Each structure stands twice: as C-alpha cells, then as structure tokens.
Amino acid sequence: MEPEKSKPKIVVLASCCVDFITYAPRLPLPGETLQGDKFTTGFGGKGANQCVAAAKLGGDCHIICRIGDDDWGIKYKENLISFGIDITHAKITKGVSTGIAQISVAANGENHIVIVPGANKYLSTCDVEEAKVLVENADILISQLETPLETTYEAFKLCRGIKLLNAAPANINIVEILKYCTLLCVNEVEASMLVEFEVTISNIKHALQKLLLSGCKVAVITLGEKGAAYSSEEGESIFVPCKKVTPKDTTGAGDAFVGALAKFMVSHRDYPLHQIIGAACDVATKSVTKEGTQISFPEKYDAFNEVYKYTIL
C-alpha cells in the first residue's frame, strides 16, 4: 500500500478580532444615530477569517497569531480548534485585550468596519522565529496588514513556499515586503492607493501591470460582486466574473476569497489560475448570501465541479 500523501501546509500569519455586528436598514451618515434591527457577535479578523475559509474547504491550516488574556481570547482559541486549525502558535498576550471590530451591515449587504487591534499589535518577529520550521516549510504562507508589517516581512523572507499577501487594510508602505511576495491580492480601493490612480474595470490591466512592477509574480485585484482580475509575470491578464446573487452580508467576502485562493493554489496546483480564481470567487459569492463572517463560509464544497468563464484582457 502506498503511504498516504501529506496535505499541503497552509500557514496564516493572522489577525484575530471579535466582531461586534449591527444590522441596520442602511449605513449611518456621519453624526447620525440610526436604529438597527439586530446585534450579534462573531469571530473575525482578516487573517483568522482566511485561515478558517481554507480550513472549511479541507485545508491543513496552521495559525500564527496573538489574542488577548480576556474571555474572548479563550473563546477564540476554542473557535479555531473547532475548525481543526493547528493553534500551536496562537499566543495569549498578558494584560491586553483581544482585537475587536465594530461592524455595521446595511440591508443591501454593504458594511463599515472599525477595528481596534489589541493583541494583534503584539504579533512579533520573535513569534515568527519561534514558528520558524513551520514558516520555512509552509506550502503557502498568507498574511494581511492588520498585524505589524515587520512581522510579515520577516516571515516572507523565511518561507520557501508561495507567499500570498492580502494588502488589507490599505497601506502603501509595503514596497519592501512585495519583493518577497509571490501573489499580491488587493481590492479596488487598496489597488488604487498602491498604483496612485482610481482603479476601474476599464483600466484594470494597467493597474495590474503596475502592481507587478513591485516585484510580486502575480497580482490579483478583486472587484466585489463583479469578480476578479489578475496579471502574471508570464504576461497573461485575465478577468473572471462572479455569479450574480442577492447579498445579505458582504463582511469577510474578501477573506473567503483569499482563503479559498490559497487552499486551491496548493491543492489544485495543475489547474490554470483563471479556474482557481473562478472557484475562489464562487466561495466568496456563496459567503455573501449568509450573515456573519466565518460562519458564512462554505464547508466541504467542491468548487471545481464547474468550468468558470473568463475574458482575456
């Protein structure tokens, strides 16, 4: 009998936040008090969301993160364990609270988010050093920008696998990191800040090519309900549309996309990137039809049952 092949390792250098979510008919204007319909809490944070999205799709996921020494921190660890995520490098930070996110969701699914990083600010280069063997041997390492930049920089330098940076929330001080980045993934707003012009579907090829000059091998720009586009070093630029759905809650859709993209890049290595991006769009689209972040991500779902449409730009 052949020995069972081990699954590719997905390592996420992650932010963890507790989401305090209010649902209201629309988003409030500055200075306005609005009556909402519902309040709920959930587990969020872009990094942890991405890790959970990949784990729910069957990925072998490992998280490197910092949570506070409050009740939320304990509950957060239990939440990660419930998805089968390895929490060896999930550390409690003494005297600090777990990160929180204040989220408002409108009836049309749009959201506003304010985060207070709390323990996420303490994710350090020492944490990366302690997880060195894991980071070096990751098949894919994912990071975002809700934790200190120097920590991501250190981890990307060490990792011998694919390095996926989701440059969210927007930050223009990432030039040094991009040199070590295999795949950069941003939304239209983040892309616009990086390329210094307003990115739209009509100029997206130009924006992608400008992002590639930063040193990454593949650049992906997500366009919300419209889909996503990418350019690679090899010269191809492709747009992949999303299926149309009626959104309930778009919170975390970008994270569902990133987590799925990472999972499929290592589990379906022989597939063309447009098919992998189509499948990741499909996962994100499914997530917006349900309320919440991590709880809205699809589980045990074979996104490769179909062939996704695409257009060469």
Q: Which residues are catalytic?
A: 255
Query: Pick from 85, 115, 128, 218: which binds ligand RIB (CB under 6 A)?
Result: 115
> What's the start-to-end Cα distance of the chain, in Å?
47
Phi, psi of 2 (to 5 degrees): -70, 140
Query: How far apart, in Å, are the Cα atoms of 121 and each of 52, 115, 187?
Result: 21, 12, 23
Query: Pick from 8, 117, 252, 292: which binds ligand RIB (CB under 6 A)?
Result: 252
Using CB under 6 A as the binding rule, whether residue 117 contacts ligand RIB is answered as no
Q: DSSP readout, 191-222?
A: HHHHHTS---GGGHHHHHHHHHTTT-SEEEEE
- Whose Cβ is closer to ligand RIB: residue 49's or residue 104's? 49
The β-bridge partners of 90 are 65
Annotated binding-site ranges: 17-19, 45-49, 146, 187, 222-227, 249, 251, 254-255, 287, 290, 292, 296
Query: Pick from 45, 109, 118, 292: which binds ligand RIB (CB under 6 A)?
Result: 45
Annotated binding-site ranges for ATP: 187, 222-227, 254-255
Distance CA 148, CA 83 (A): 25
Quote the longest CA-to-CA distance of the chain: 68
Using CB under 6 A as the binding rule, whether residue 118 contacts ligand RIB is answered as no
Pairing of strands 99-106, 17-24: parallel
- Whose Cβ is closer to ligand RIB: residue 19's or residue 190's? 19
Annotated binding-site ranges for K(+): 249, 251, 287, 290, 292, 296
Query: Pick from 101, 174, 183, 238: which binds ligand RIB (CB under 6 A)?
Result: 101
Using CB under 6 A as the binding rule, whether residue 46 contacts ligand RIB is answered as yes
Nearest residue to ligand RIB, scored by beta-carbon proximity: 44
| Letter string b/e over residues 186-198, b meaning 16 or more CB atoms within 10 A of that residue's CB | bbbebbbbbbeee
Using CB under 6 A as the binding rule, whether residue 17 contacts ligand RIB is answered as yes
